[in-house]
Amino acid sequence: MRTIIETPRLKLRELTPDDLPALRTILQDDDVMYAYGGAFSDEEVNTWLSNRLASYRSGGYSLWAVVLKENGELIGQCGLTDQTPLSETILEVGYLFAKKHWGQGYATEAADAVKTYAFETLDTDSLYAIIRATNHPSRNVAKRLGMHCIKYFIKHYRGIDMPHFLYRIRRDESTRILRLDEHPEYIPVCAAWIYAQWGSQSDGTPDGALRKFCEKAAPGQLPISLIAIHDNKPAGTISLWTSDHHMDDIGPWLAALYVHPFHRNEGIALTLIDLVIDEACKRGDASIYLVTEDAGELYRRFGFEDVRKLVSDYGEATLMKLTLMGYKKSGV
């Protein structure tokens, strides 16, 4: 059994036929196999193992067995596979762990080591993760690896249409997401964007918009604003506010999402929404609200649901709500 990677607590090695009983425990658990539409049959488990062994021979990598150093127990799988979720083949990091070992950081520890292997040993330029949209624990692992959510697509598996997000990190990552309160040098550009887009909702003046972003908040309090920097240029912004659209009785509010025209269609809006939801989770918020005139489909991808129609400053709009309970569940 050839060891490929070692971490402080784990060894990643090639799977062997002797691992079949342990694989059945993992692959035949409905909760573990949620992203695959349910537990595998015996035949599907056998095929899964055969495919892994064939990939070792043909490409030199695939999903590897993850075993605990302390006792040699096989607790999951993590590794690299070639995937074609859209039009081109990409290198994906995958991770799948027995349920009794969830919540102990093993997936992040193993996947981070695999990321290093992909960049340093395989010399890849980009690494991806394909994750079911509602699989919040796996999405959290991807974000802990420094990955950004860049695309949304529907994957067809076992006769089911499954919404998925595509996460990516590049060797020389050109997109950074910063908190505006820690980088006040970007406040003027964010204020200018928001005033130009929604002047009437920013006290009606450039100074009003500037004051909005200059508000100071204690740690964990609102407002919270993020800015995306792409290729060393400001590319977009998003905020979490106490209130919006003159509604003070509900909140917090996802607001002021803006991506500069030069940087659209690069996944920046998805990345910003994904990370501002994380900010609300860190605060312990139960839900997030927003109002949109024409971008409801974008927010539904993240689980926002329509609450009711209303009239905004720009015409008919939809009040939407995201319940954060699913985002807070522990997992891999």
Enumerate the CATH 3.40.630.30 domain ranges in the chain, comma separated.
3-170, 175-328
d(CA 79, CA 4): 10
- Mean of per-residue pLDDT scores for the chain: 93
Whether residue 82 is predicted with pLDDT greater than 90 in this model: the reply is yes
Cβ atoms within 10 Å of 315's Cβ, excluding its own: 8
Span 77-83, average pLDDT: 98
Whether residue 200 is predicted with pLDDT greater than 60 in this model: the reply is no
CATH for the 3-170 domain, from 3.20.20.60, 3.40.630.30, 3.30.70.260, 3.40.30.10: 3.40.630.30
CATH number for the domain formed by residue range(s) 175-328: 3.40.630.30
Q: What is the pLDDT of residues 244-267, one digit of tens each?
A: 888 999 999 999 999 999 999 999
Give yes or no for a contact between 287 and 305, defined as CB atoms under 8 angstroms apart: no
